[in-house]
Amino acid sequence: MSGIRAVYLYNVNVVTPDGVIENGWIHFAEGLIEEIGSGSSFDDSKHRTGTTDEQAEVIDGRKGWVLPGFIDVHVHGGYGYDFMDADSAGLDAITRFHAQHGTATMLATTVTASKSDIDQVLDRVSQYRETDMPYAQLNGVHLEGPFISAKWPGAQNPQHITEPQLAWLEDWTQRFPELVRMQTLAPETEGALPYIEALTSKGIVAALGHTDATYEQVQLAVQHGLSHAVHSFNAMRGLHHREPGTVGAVMSNPAIMAEIIADGHHVHPVCISLLAKVKGPDNLVLITDAMSAAGLGNGDYQLGDLDVVVQDGVARLKEGDSLAGSTLTMIEAFRYAVQKAGLSVEHASRMASGNPARRLGIDQITGALHPGKQADILLLNEQLELERVWIQGRVIL
């Protein structure tokens, strides 16, 4: 990976928080966005002759798209490695793979496991974050479980499901301050409401998932601080016209930011489109839920300590046949949202970058193209295929 270099990207559609700049250009240097403008204010000959910056790379984007780097708040691994057991080399491999597919920031996501196994993940990620992370940045950890519903385990090991343990949370936050950024739990379980309050008081996003919660139980949990829903529609009580269920609560409550897996296997594109309409442009997040098989072919893998079989890009548990995460990348999720679910490039970009940045409280730093923000930048061609990636101004692809 080469170092930081000033770059001028021109003849592109620049997706900004204020709209798309057609025939636009963007200049970034020293890891930050310097300027953004329209074609009329870009003098290519001046930049090429070096009167502005003779070391700068000048790139004709050929009417492609420039987007902010993607932020994935729910990802378990990739390229043969799982966050549950990845050492520093494995963490490099996961973050390199996803960075090469457009992810600039991510949460290392666990599965339902024993406390000792979760402790080890937190320890390894904490140590990794103290290094110069060269690829996608690990913003922290998303604990998916173990406080979930035994009725909706999905691809989580039911042997490790337990009721919320406040003592565990105190231990995690004392030993690893500000490392846990989000936790998924079933809000209907015994002790969930005080646990949600404790999460919220510590600045951790309280998320529902793998849950049999009724509509009323979700509303009550929101009053206690619940604000997020993982992989909407999947592993949760569905929508019924006489009992809206978990899905109905997620769709109708504006206090809940929802995730969606846009891969064509987890959720029908019509349901993605419907959810996008009811949640609006600012309350839906694209995720991958990718597991270790992402980037590899068919075969046998593991998600946590469960055996998974991947066939034609679809990951399922060997026992029970439940979907077991995905082999998705963020660029594929983004492209699917536009080309199959019918969302605009601007809307899908907000779902993949701006909304998760706000979710994590890092929107003043990244998640949008604006002067002064981090140069987490993607160049896509007109077919929405990824051509170049920069993270903090460093060339990744």
Is 235 labeled as ligand-binding?
A: yes
Active-site annotation holder among 289, 305, 307, 312: 289
Q: Tell me if 184 sits within 8 A of 148, measured CB to CB.
A: yes
- How far, in Å, CA of 15 to CA of 345, rounded? 8
- Name residues whose C-beta falls within 8 Å of residue 308's C-beta, 6 or more positions apart in sequence: 155, 291, 293, 300, 301, 302, 315, 316, 317, 318, 324, 325
Longest dimension (CA), the chain: 69
Q: How far apart are the first and last CA of the chain?
A: 8
Q: How many CA atoms lie within 13 A of 115 on its CB side?
A: 12
27 is in an annotated binding site: no
For 319, half-sphere exposure in the C-beta direction (CA atoms, 13 angstrom radius) is 9
Q: Is 325 annotated as a binding residue?
A: yes
**Is 283 marked as a binding-site residue?**
no
Integer CA distances (angstroms), 84 to 91, 152, 182, 213, 230, in order? 10, 21, 16, 27, 19
Residue 210 annotated as binding site: yes
Where does residue 254 rank: exposed (0-12), middle (13-18), buried (19+ CB within 10 A)?
Answer: exposed
Q: How far, in Å, CA of 280 to CA of 282, rounded?
A: 6
- Known binding residue 130? Answer is no
Radius of gyration from C-alpha coordinates of the chain: 21
144 is in an annotated binding site: yes
Distance CA 100, CA 185 (A): 31
Q: Report the half-sphere exposure of 78 (CA within 13 A, side-chain side).
A: 30
* Residue 101 known to bind ligand: no
Does 323 show up as a binding residue in the annotation?
A: yes
Any known ligand binding at 242?
yes
Whether 289 is catalytic: yes
Strand order in the sheet with 314-317: 299-303, 306-311, 314-317
Residue 6 labelled as part of a binding site: no
Q: Left, alpha or beta for 233 (phi > 0: left; psi -120 to 50: alpha)? A: left
In the annotated binding site for Zn(2+), the residues are: 144, 210, 231
In the annotated binding site for substrate, the residues are: 155, 234-235, 242, 266, 323-325
In the annotated binding site, the residues are: 144, 155, 210, 231, 234-235, 242, 266, 323-325
What is the set of active-site residues?
289
